[in-house]
Structure 1
Amino acid sequence: MEAIQPCLTAVVRKELVKHQDQDVKVLLATCFCEMTRITAPEAPYSDDLLRTIFRLIVGTFGGLADVNSHYFSRRVAILEIVARYWACVVMLDLECNDLITDMFRTFLEIVR
């Protein structure tokens, strides 16, 4: 944990987390997923910060409808990590029910 602490701190800077560019959001969500994967089963961030991170991650799923996007494979990788490491359970523990609803609504819209 000590070795990756600078990375954990760098990716949660406000100017990154609140960035408006969709490409930055996808890349940041990828970083968060990898950090979470590396530190599992311990969460590397506070509950409030995790809620913000999950909001960012769920927001990237809307782009799964565009299979020609240059970030499509990254979005799929994010989805795989969320599924593999049971992030939905963590989201439920954090009472992110609205995000889970949004996530499944997005998936159903994409499939439709």
Structure 2
Amino acid sequence: MGSSKREIELEEQLKDAGNLLLNPPSPVDEVINLLDKVEHLLANVEQAPSRSMRDALLPTMKGLITNDLLRRSDMDVRLSVTSCISEITRITAPDSPYDDELMKEFFQLAVSAFENLSHASGRYYMKALSILDTVAKVRSCLLMLDLECDKLVVEMFQHFLKVI
């Protein structure tokens, strides 16, 4: 069955945004705007996507793990990247979108994002809540255990216990 016009447009937008991620703009606010757009686009991708959609996701998947984004010091950028990667994990579930080392790095970012759940408002809180929601839906914590991220699981629960 052919792709709908809406799906084709989404694929094109994802390719374009993904290509921008491969060489992101320098100003932090432009990077955050781009990542917010990418996150919105990813939220519209169904789980178990078509072959053409998987192909359209590749530039985004590659762009999100570049050193310029994944290891950037700005907290807003790191949270936005983590939120986008959590959407990627939702889309590709039950398969892991990245190799084990990158998934461990993602989980470290996600768990550190959960610290922001104690600030019950604001952008950081909303991003952390979005990441938590996706991690819970996809049951990513099971993958954390498979990857032997036991210390991260403990740290994650410590963050949760601080919030309640």
**More deviation, 60-69/4-13:** 60-69
d(CA) in 2 for partners of 1:106, 1:75: 11
**Deviation of the 1:40 alpha carbon:** 1.1
Equivalent position of 2:78 in the other structure: 25
**More deviation, 101-110/65-74:** 65-74
d(CA) in 1 for partners of 2:111, 2:100: 16
1:56 and 2:109 equivalent? Answer: yes
Equivalent position of 2:156 in the other structure: 103
d(CA) in 1 for partners of 2:140, 2:121: 26
d(CA) in 2 for partners of 1:39, 1:95: 21
Cα distance per residue 1:29-78 (max 9 Å; x no partner): 11001111111111110001100011011110001111122232221111
Unaligned runs of 5+ in 1: none
d(CA) in 2 for partners of 1:66, 1:97: 25
1:86 and 2:111 equivalent? Answer: no
Equivalent position of 1:42 in the other structure: 95
What amino acid is aligned across from residue 94 of structure 2 in structure 1?
Answer: P
**3-state SS in 2 of match to 1:55:** helix
- Which TM-score applies when normalising by structure 2? 0.65
- Which TM-score applies when normalising by structure 1? 0.93
d(CA) in 1 for partners of 2:71, 2:127: 20
Q: Percent identity?
A: 36
**3-state SS in 2 of match to 1:3:** helix
Equivalent position of 2:57 in the other structure: 4
d(CA) in 2 for partners of 1:48, 1:68: 32
**Deviation of the 1:5 alpha carbon:** 0.6
The Cα RMSD (Å) is 1.0
- Displaced runs of 4 or more, over 6 A: none
Please identify the structure whose Cα radius of gyration is greater.
Answer: 2
**3-state SS in 2 of match to 1:45:** coil
